[in-house]
Amino acid sequence: MSESYCVCARRQAGITRREVIWVLVIVAVLAIYVSSLVKHRAEEAMHHHAAADLERISLALHQYKLDNLRYPSAEQGLSALLQPPQTAPLAPNWAGPYLSRANLLEDPWQRPYRYNSSDAPPSFELTSFGSDGEAGGSGIDRDVLLRFQSDADY
């Protein structure tokens, strides 16, 4: 019995350069899309972080007012929540620190929160100017603001 073998020229199986390029293009497009989603979520998280910080500072300001019958003046600033103010009006019943860490006075973009207060009626305003550090803006540059105004004059 004689066997005959057919020797045929075969195309070697494998991936062509064109297929590799298409795969790389698809992976790159997906990576760009996913990274833009992640960046957007991170930017939103920073705004939520700033809003949470402002709420925390607001609670500390209310506690300061309960102890001292007034909010810190704008000149004393938020540092009055960490150590007794040295300028008038002094806080004779200061029972702080009212915040656990000094870095709570900085927004997620490493700039100090802006604070303004008034005695008549008792009120305060806390602001972060967002990622651009300038008033106004939209999107990631939008401001984060918390205002409180008491109904009573005491």
**Where in the chain does DSSP place strands (E)?**
114-119, 122-128, 144-149
117 belongs to a structural domain: yes
63 belongs to a structural domain: yes
Residues of the chain with pLDDT under 70: 1-12, 152-154
2 belongs to a structural domain: no
pLDDT at site 28 = 94
The DSSP string of 58-85 is HHHHHHHHHHHSSPPPTTT-GGGGTS--
pLDDT at site 43 = 85
Q: What is the CATH number of the domain that holds 116?
A: 3.30.700.10
86 belongs to a structural domain: yes
pLDDT at site 32 = 92
Q: Tell me 112's DSSP state.
A: B
Pairing verdict, β 122-128 and 114-119 = antiparallel
Q: Domain count of the chain?
A: 1
- Domain range enclosing 88: 17-149
Copy the structure tokens of residue 34: 């996913």
